[in-house]
Structure formats: C-alpha cells, structure tokens
Amino acid sequence: MTRKNTESYTSTCCYCGVGCGVVVNKEKNGSITVEGDKIHPVNKGMLCSKGINLHHTVNDKTDRLLYPQMRYNKSMPMQRVSWDNALDRAAAVFKTFIDKYGPDSVAFYASGQCLTEEYYVLNKLMKGFIGSNNIDTNSRLCMSSAVVGYKKALGEDSVPVCYDDIELADCFYVTGANPAWCHPILWRRVEAHKAANPQIKIIVVDPRVTDSASIADLHLQINPGTDITLNHAIGRVLIENGDIDLDFVTNHAEGFEAYSELVFTKTVHNAALICGVSETDIRLAAKYIGNANGFISMWTMGLNQSAIGVNKNLSLINLNLITGNIGKPGCGPLSLTGQPNAMGGREVGGLSNLLPAHRDMANPMHRAEVQQFWGGATINPQPGLTATEMFEALNDGRLKAIWILCTNPMTSLPNVRLAEEALKKAKFVVVQEITNRSECLPYADVILPAAAWAEKEGTMTNSERRISYLNKVIDAPGEALPDAEIICRFAKKMGYKGFDFKDAAAIYAEHVKLTEKTNIDISGLSYEILKERKTVQWPYKKKSALHGTPRLFADKKFYTPSAKAIIHAVPDELTSEMPDARFPFILTTGRIRDQWHTMSKTGKVNKLNQHYPQAFLEIHPTDAEALQISEGDVAVITSKRGEVQVKAKISTQIKQGVVFLPMHWGKVLGNDLNRANNLTSDKIDPMSKEPDFKFCAVRVEKYKKP
Ligand code: SF4
C-alpha cells in the first residue's frame, strides 16, 4: 500500500489480546504513524488510547539498547562487544552449566509479547535440544488458569467463540475483568450492540465499580474471592428455574448430576451472604442468563490470577455448559487474553508443561512425535520450572543461569523482592531487551539489543484464535536484531542443528507442519496466505475454507476422550491469605486504562501518563475516615512481605475492607515504594501455577514523618 510521501503496511497492535488491526504509515523521514485498519474484522478502524499512540513508542529511540554488552563480573561496568563475542560467551557459560549440573540448570523466561516464530525457536531450543523444559513466560501470570480450565472442561485449550458472536448474543456475564479499560475495542463492540439493542442484558461481577460496570444492567459487587460461590448459586437457580439445556447436559456433557448435587448444598440466601450481594440480584442474574438465546461469559485476570483460578474458570464455564450455550452463534465462554500473543505462545507449546500444538508432555507418543520431528535430544517428560518456580530455583541454587527476554519480572512477579534476591544470586543472567527501561538490566552479565514492533515480521494470535501477519516496516536501530534471529544464532553457537532458518517465513512453515492432524491444525497456512488474507482463525487445515474456523464445537463433539464436555463440581474453598487483626484489609491489584503491563512502552508516551501520572491506593471513604486518611495523603500499605507508599484516592467505587493498587509501577527514580508486587503473596494455583495477585492481606496507615 502507498500514500503520497508514505508507504503503508498492515500490522496488529502489540498490546492486549483483542488484536486490533493497524495500518502503519512510514513517512519519508523514517518515522511512523498508525491508524486503525478500517477493513480489519476485529476493530473495523477503531483503536483505543494505547493503540492510537503506538507509534510514539517506536519513534522515540532515546532509550533504545543499540549494541550487545557484556561484563565478566558484576562489579565491572558493561562493555560494548560484538554479537559474536556476546553469543559465544553466553553459549560457553550455558554449556558449562549444562555439562556440570545438567540441562535443568538453565532457563528461558519469555513473554506473551513474543511473536509466534520467536516462541517456536525458543521452545525448540530448550525442549528439543538443551533437553530441559525450563522455558516459561509471563503468560503464566496471566492466562494459565484459563488454559487449564478450557482443557479440563473442553478437552483442549480452545476458545470456542469468535468476536462476531458479540453482535449475536443477548446476555453477557463479565466477571473478573474490566474490558472497558483493559480490552477497550472489544468492549466498544459490546457497548454498540447494547446501544442498538437495549433489551440485551449485561451482568458485571467485580468488587469494584468499574467503567465496564457503568453500562451493566446488573452489577454484582461481590466480596473478593467469592466467584465460585456466586457461580454455583446462579447454577442452582438456573436448575431450579428449569433453565438448563437437558439435551446438552444429557447427551453432550458429563458431570451434571454431581454438579447439581453440589450446588444444592448451599442455599442462595447463604451464597448471597458470603458474596456480599443480595439474593434478589443472584436470582436476577440467573433469570437474565436463563432467558438468553445467546449467552457469552467473558473473563480475565480477576478469575485467572487466583490461588483457586482453575476452579473459578471451571465454575464459570459450567454456566455455559448447563445452559447449552456453546458451539452456537452468539454464545460461549470467551477468555480475554491480556497479552497480544499469549495464544500464539500456547500454540507452539511455550509454557514449561506444554509441547507444540497443545501436545501433552506426559504423553509418550506426543513426546516421540515432537522429538522425531525436531531430530534433537530426548524430550524430558517432567514439566519444567514455571515463572515463579524459576526465581525460587535461582534463590536456592538449583538454577544457575536465566535468559530473560521481552519481560520485566522485577515489576510483574508476585512478592517481587524474592525475585530481586534471586537475580542477585543467579550465576549468569542474559537480558534480551528493546530499551534500557527493564529493571533486570542491573543484574545482567550479557545484554542483547532486540528489534521492536514494526522492526521485524512475524505472526500473533488474538483471543478469538485469529492469526495475523505483522509486516516489518522499518529497520531496527543500531545493531538490534529480531528476537528469533538472536535465539537461532545462539542455538548455532551451542552447536545445534535445525536453526538455520532463512527467514521468519521458514520458521512459520516448520511450526505449521508440526500442527498437522492436531486439534489446532493450521497446516494449510503459510506467510503467502496470511499476507493475502491478513488474518485467519485456527484451525486452518490444508485446503481449508477461506477464513479458517470462527466457532468451535458446532457439532457438539468436544476434545475429551468421551467427546463430551465435562461439568466439574468444583469446591468453593478460598485458599488465599486471609485478613487478620494485624493485616485487616484485602488488597486487590489491577490495571488502569492508559498503561499496559510494567509501562516499558506506554510509560514513554506523555499523553498516556496524564490519565494517572502516579500510582495510588483506592480506598473506601469509611475506611479512610477511620484511618484519618484524606484524599491525596500518602498511605503506607504493608503486608507480611513488604511495603508500598502511595497517595490515597478515596472512592465509593471500592468495597469497604478492600483496597486496590495498580500493578504497573515499578521503580520510579530509584524509589520502589510504588510497586504493588512488594506486597502480593507467594500463593499459586496448584494446577495452573498462576499467582494469587488479586487477594492478600494488608495493613493501611497514614504516612507519618519519621
Ligand atoms: Fe491495542 Fe488492545 Fe487497544 Fe486494540 S484494544 S488498540 S489491541 S490495546
């Protein structure tokens, strides 16, 4: 595409998992501008505040890492070196540790922002050649409970819905999510649908009165952590009212009897007391769902980031299953991914317990298939270390070397001071990054400069299984290289065969071949097809229909051994750290509208920093008054693990006894007292290993000068 004085390329926004299409215009002076892609099926030209400012993050090169750097011990300053020097050193150190302590002494910690091709080569290198499964990503902090939930209920980590189902639905149950701020363009589609059809119902479940709640017909402002109790109570009322799909639960699902027995062990009245909402509102929610012809449940971190995250997911998916709201137009459980390519990462097996194309690490046939295809080392049947486990293993010395790319764990991990200690103790740290904003850099032995969005080509998959091709628009500055190229160069330095890819298209071609005959089969796809069609939803088998598969399970055949969906009767026991006399408040953390993750990109954009220029504590007026805290006073928030000091924002939008901190801020001008994860707990979900970011016990006091 060309315009006067510009060249235009299509791409995909690299922030959230909505996956909006953008047109990137390359100006004569080499800078870029972006606009919404009017013909993209996801956003139809719309972009949110983050997306519309994307070009600033690329045009501003002042903080870019431009060349590889290295030092031989932590007391030395970093020195500029060649790519060969840096990668030779990294390979030599990795080989030494692997020879001396075994392959599990090294690890890669990557990101849901990596492109699929980058994920693929990382995964191939660690699992297929180094012989360890120690590759995990920050998607563990974000999506892993949904992955396990889908797999347990549907037999496969498969989002059954497409975004076009939004305009066909007449009831939305939005829980543990604030899409008005965190998935704005998707939410605009819900808002527009509601505006055109006022009779459709929107139910929002959230302990806070969010912007998403502002258009809801019913806001259930539950006590934090009571989601399962609420979902079970709604399930009970649906059964009482006869609003279940008998044919579906009898012929296409298993487990309804046990579920029914379980949900009747608690009265709706008792459930209402536990959840802190009225019985009438629970019954109304069930009525809205029961009356719907098309019912979509939507969720994200509020359910996933929990010590009982998988069970929360299952209790929600149950509502779709018992009402038969799956596999048909306008309905289904739609997990919203936080990162742009969390889904693509899962496709290539980019978590420490997965193999490519959603194959099972515990299945010997699956391991053999992948091993034969790659022609490398025997694949280890034991899952590797997950995100938080990697930092524990650095702390206790099991892990010697870690390679961190495209993520900033020093802000995003729970109980982050433990992670700081871990990086101090690590014998060898490689940081592969775009800018000097990563808080991991002071701990690095080797720093590798990476190309940014628009400086490399590749693919990503959004929340509705839509794969998009991203064009390279401009060259990376200095000596920065695309992440996939860095990893392939390193693999060759390690002496491994199978990393001599001509380009990103060749990596993609190998990836799609490995998906053949699996449930996520995209063996019919290639860069040529993606460039021509721009986006395609998987599965996309050879000789597939024009645009892939928008909706799964239309035949009511699920990926379980019985081909039936599984209704899980999950307990509603909360295992989080409970408040007590010393720490009487529940802390929940979350996102604000104009920042994304740890602000390494959005923090560069002045316009975005204006929304909330600094971190804050949201607290209810009654609690603030009892603590003699006024608006703007500095509050000191303490947990068993650490402290935060930020200004108080007094608001009736939060429940009494609950306080909220945004998770974006890390060290600001050397001060790390803005960092919410100083406080969060080490608890994780036992199945998904996802941390409990949404619930820990804290004390709040007014700051007093020492
Ligand atoms: Fe980007 Fe998400 Fe905003 Fe779309 S909704 S423009 S993908 S941040």
SS3 assignment for 452-493: CCCCCCEEEECCCCEEEEECCCCCCCCCCECHHHHHHHHHHH
Which of the residue ranges 200-214, 502-516, 668-682, 684-698 would you say has the lowest mean pLDDT? 668-682
Stretch 543-572: mean pLDDT? 91
CA nearest neighbour of 542 among 531, 529, 554, 560? 529
Confidence band (pLDDT; 50, 70, 90) for 598? confident
Taking 80 as the threshold, does the pLDDT of residue 594 lie above it? yes
Taking 60 as the threshold, does the pLDDT of residue 684 lie above it? yes
pLDDT, position 1: 53
Taking 70 as the threshold, does the pLDDT of residue 554 lie above it? yes
CA nearest neighbour of 676 among 686, 685, 666, 684? 666
Question: CB count, 10 Å around CB of 250?
Answer: 10
pLDDT, position 546: 59
Confidence band (pLDDT; 50, 70, 90) for 4? low
Strand partners, 428: 401
> Mutate which of 20, 190, 593, 601 to test ligand 1's pocket (most atoms within 8 Å of Cβ)?
20
pLDDT, position 69: 98
User: Cα(125) to centroid of ligand 1, in Å?
Assistant: 31
Confidence band (pLDDT; 50, 70, 90) for 574? very high
Q: What are phi and psi of 643, to 5 degrees?
A: -140, 150
User: Cα(186) to centroid of ligand 1, in Å?
Assistant: 8
- On whether the CB atoms of residues 463 and 146 are closer than 8 A, the answer is no
Strand partners, 78: none
Give the type of residue at 590.
G
pLDDT digits (tens, 9 = 90+) for 48-59: 999 999 999 999
User: Cα(320) to centroid of ligand 1, in Å?
Assistant: 27
Dump strand ranges (E) for 406-559: 428-433, 446-449, 458-461, 466-470, 535-537
Q: What are phi and psi of 289, to 5 degrees?
A: -70, -45
User: Cα(43) to centroid of ligand 1, in Å?
Assistant: 9
pLDDT, position 588: 97
User: Cα(183) to centroid of ligand 1, in Å?
Assistant: 6
Nearest protein Cα to ligand 1, atom 2 = 16
Confidence band (pLDDT; 50, 70, 90) for 465? very high
Taking 60 as the threshold, does the pLDDT of residue 676 lie above it? yes
Ligand 1 atom nearest 49 alpha carbon: 3
Ligand 1 atom nearest 340 alpha carbon: 7
Ligand 1 atom nearest 183 alpha carbon: 5
pLDDT, position 463: 95
**Residue corresponding to tokens 């998906």:** 515
pLDDT, position 702: 97
Token pair belonging to 329: 């137009």
pLDDT, position 669: 64
Can you tell me the distance from the alpha carbon of 405 to that of 311, in angstroms, rounded to the nearest whole number?
A: 31
Ligand 1 atom nearest 462 alpha carbon: 7
- On whether the CB atoms of residues 432 and 69 are closer than 8 A, the answer is no
Ligand 1 atom nearest 15 alpha carbon: 8
Whether the ipTM is more than 0.90: the answer is: yes
Q: Which residues contact 512 (CB under 8 A, 6 or more apart)?
A: 522, 523, 524, 525, 526
pLDDT, position 670: 72
Stretch 650-663: mean pLDDT? 96
- On whether the CB atoms of residues 403 and 109 are closer than 8 A, the answer is yes
Confidence band (pLDDT; 50, 70, 90) for 405? very high
Q: Which residues contact 683 (CB under 8 A, 6 or more apart)?
A: 307, 575, 576, 577, 691, 692, 696
Ligand 1 atom nearest 43 alpha carbon: 4
Ligand 1 atom nearest 16 alpha carbon: 2
Burial of 51 (0-12, 13-18, 19+ CB in 10 A): buried
> Mutate which of 43, 53, 189, 592 to test ligand 1's pocket (most atoms within 8 Å of Cβ)?
43
| Positive or negative: CA dihedral 358, 360, 361, 363 | negative
Taking 80 as the threshold, does the pLDDT of residue 2 lie above it? no
Give the type of residue at 21.
G
Give the type of residue at 232.
H
Structural domains of the chain, with CATH: 144-335 (3.40.228.10), 585-702 (2.40.40.20)
pLDDT, position 545: 64
> Mutate which of 49, 50, 298 to test ligand 1's pocket (most atoms within 8 Å of Cβ)?
50
pTM of the model: 0.96
**Residue corresponding to tokens 């137009």:** 329
Confidence band (pLDDT; 50, 70, 90) for 671? confident
Can you tell me the distance from the alpha carbon of 134 to that of 384, in angstroms, rounded to the nearest whole number?
A: 4
User: Cα(44) to centroid of ligand 1, in Å?
Assistant: 12
Taking 70 as the threshold, does the pLDDT of residue 668 lie above it? no
Residues having CB closer than 6 A to ligand 1 are 13, 15-16, 18-20, 43, 47-48, 50-51, 183-185
SS3 assignment for 595-615: CCCCCCCHHHCHHHHCCCCCC
H or E element at residue 288? helix 279-291
Taking 60 as the threshold, does the pLDDT of residue 3 lie above it? no
Q: What are phi and psi of 529, to 5 degrees?
A: -65, -45
**Residue corresponding to tokens 């459980």:** 333
pLDDT digits (tens, 9 = 90+) for 159-217: 999 999 999 999 999 999 999 999 999 999 999 999 999 999 999 999 999 999 999 99
Mean pLDDT for the chain overall: 95
Ligand 1 atom nearest 184 alpha carbon: 5
Helix (H, G, I), strand (E, B) or coil at 6: strand
User: Cα(19) to centroid of ligand 1, in Å?
Assistant: 6
C-alpha distances in Å from residue 238, one per residue of 150, 234, 320, 467, 570: 22, 6, 11, 36, 17
The DSSP output letter for 450 is B
User: Cα(32) to centroid of ligand 1, in Å?
Assistant: 18
pLDDT, position 543: 74
Nearest protein Cα to ligand 1, atom 6 = 51
Confidence band (pLDDT; 50, 70, 90) for 289? very high
Can you tell me the distance from the alpha carbon of 677 to that of 125, in angstroms, rounded to the nearest whole number?
A: 31
User: Cα(20) to centroid of ligand 1, in Å?
Assistant: 6
pLDDT, position 166: 98
Can you tell me the distance from the alpha carbon of 666 to that of 678, in angstroms, rounded to the nearest whole number?
A: 9
Stretch 239-250: mean pLDDT? 98
Burial of 114 (0-12, 13-18, 19+ CB in 10 A): buried
Q: What are phi and psi of 180, to 5 degrees?
A: -60, -30
Taking 70 as the threshold, does the pLDDT of residue 547 lie above it? no
First to last CA, the chain: 62
Stretch 235-255: mean pLDDT? 98
Helix (H, G, I), strand (E, B) or coil at 312: helix
Nearest protein Cα to ligand 1, atom 3 = 48
